[in-house]
Structures are given as structure tokens and as C-alpha cells.
């Protein structure tokens, strides 16, 4: 299932503006509502529901996992933006300020801190997580993944019965475009094997 949340451009500019900057929480609310709906309808449940997103979508799935960890069995976050207070300092990050807002501007820190994945990690039991990065990513630099996973493991990793919290780093690769077929296939195989294992689901 693909969730069309406010904040994207697929339904025009008003749809996008409904969930940018100080309104970004609307994106997460829409995604959480979709997860709650498929659960209430009996399509799946919290032992089988896994979520996946990449880049800004990776930020989305890490943010909603922090907000509602009990909803999901597994989260796959691919090259995510996780440090919403410092993203503008690296490579092309400043170009995203129209969407996210920027901590350099007065007042933005308050709303960025409300959802920044790095800064909203909880000392709770998390769903199984795989966070992926590429060591030569010059769009979303891999430090976003490194810091997020390190903080997650430090904050929640010692909880008894904690689910697996994994980091996968692709070597000699960038943000995703142009990834050789062999590497793309291996990455997808690793993701699906991880999801099958943690949800006890056969892929055959």
C-alpha cells in the first residue's frame, strides 16, 4: 500500500502546503491514520505491518515510528534525513528549507524538535528496524543514519526484549539513482529477508 500524505506534491500545491514547516505533523498524522485504518479493518495487525520509506520518506517512517512504535512490526528507513536541526549544514540540505523549515530561522527550532527523528527517540520497545545508508551519498549524507542508529541503540537498545535495530551501509554508492543492478537486488533481498524474519512471514 502506498500512502499519499499531505506535504507531497501529487495533489497540487495546496496539498503540499498543508504539511510543510510548522504544519509538517500533518504528514505524520496522515500516515499514522492509514496504519490505524488497515489495522482496524483487519487487513493486517501490529505483528505483520511493516513500513518503508526513502530519503524524505525515510524521515517520515522514522518519525512515525518514534511517535507510535506500537503500531508497527518493522520499519525500513532508507537514506533518511534524521537530524532536522542540522540538515542544512551538509551538501545540498539548505535547498530543503522551504519544505522543512530551518533551525537558523527564529521559531523553527520549536516545531522541528517536535518531530526530528534524531531528537524524539524514546526509551521504549521499538519495532524491528533496519536503517540504510550509502557511504558516498552526497544528498542525504550518511551521518544522518549513523547518528540516528547510535542514539537509538544507546537510548532504547538495552531494554529487555528489544527488537533488532540494524544499520546497513552500502559501500561505494550514493543516494540511490544509478545503483548497479546487482547491488540493488542484494539490498532488496536483505530488506525482504529481514522483514520475513522479524514478522515470521514466508516470502515463498
Provide the annotated active-site residues: 55, 137, 175
- Say how far apart CA 20 and CA 70 lie, in whole Å: 26
E strands present in 40-160: 50-54, 74-78, 128-134
- Say how far apart CA 36 and CA 30 lie, in whole Å: 10
- Say how far apart CA 53 and CA 139 lie, in whole Å: 16
- Give the three-class secondary structure for 166: strand
Q: Which grid cell sits at 179? A: 545503483
Return the DSSP state at 193. Answer: H
**Sign of dihedral through CA atoms 154, 156, 160, 166?**
negative
Per this entry, what is the length of the chain? 204
Amino acid at each position: 500500500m502506498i500512502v499519499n500524505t499531505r506535504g507531497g506534491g501529487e495533489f497540487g500545491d495546496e496539498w503540499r502546503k498543508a504539511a510543510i514547516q510548522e504544519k509538517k505533523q500533518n504528514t505524520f498524522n496522515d500516515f499514522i491514520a492509514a496504519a490505524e485504518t488497515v489495522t482496524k479493518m483487519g487487513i493486517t495487525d501490529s505483528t505483520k505491518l511493516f513500513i518503508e520509506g526513502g530519503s524524505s520518506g525515510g524521515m517520515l517512517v522514522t518519525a512515525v515510528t518514534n511517535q507510535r512504535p506500537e503500531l508497527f512490526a518493522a520499519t525500513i528507513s532508507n537514506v533518511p534525513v534524521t537530524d532536522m536541526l542540522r540538515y542544512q549544514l551538509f551538501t545540498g540540505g539548505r535547498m530543503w528549507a522551504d519544505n522543512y523549515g530551518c533551525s537558523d530561522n527564529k521559531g523553527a527550532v520549536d516545531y522541528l524538535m517536535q518531530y526530528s527523528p534524531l531528537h524524539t527517540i524514546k526509551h521504549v520497545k521499538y519495532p524491528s528496524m533496519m536503517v540504510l545508508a550509502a557511504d558516498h551519498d552526497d544528498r542525504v549524507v550518511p551521518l544522518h543514519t549513523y547518528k540516528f542508529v547510535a542514539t537509538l541503540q544507546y537510548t532504547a537498545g538495552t531494554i529487555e526484549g528489544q527488537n533488532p535495530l540494524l544499520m546497513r551501509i552500502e559501500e561505494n554508492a550514493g543516494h540511490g539513482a544509478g545503483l548497479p543492478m546487482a547491488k540493488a537486488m542484494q539490498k532488496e533481498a536483505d530488506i525482504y529477508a529481514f522483514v520475513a524474519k522479524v514478522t515470521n512471514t514466508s516470502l515463498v
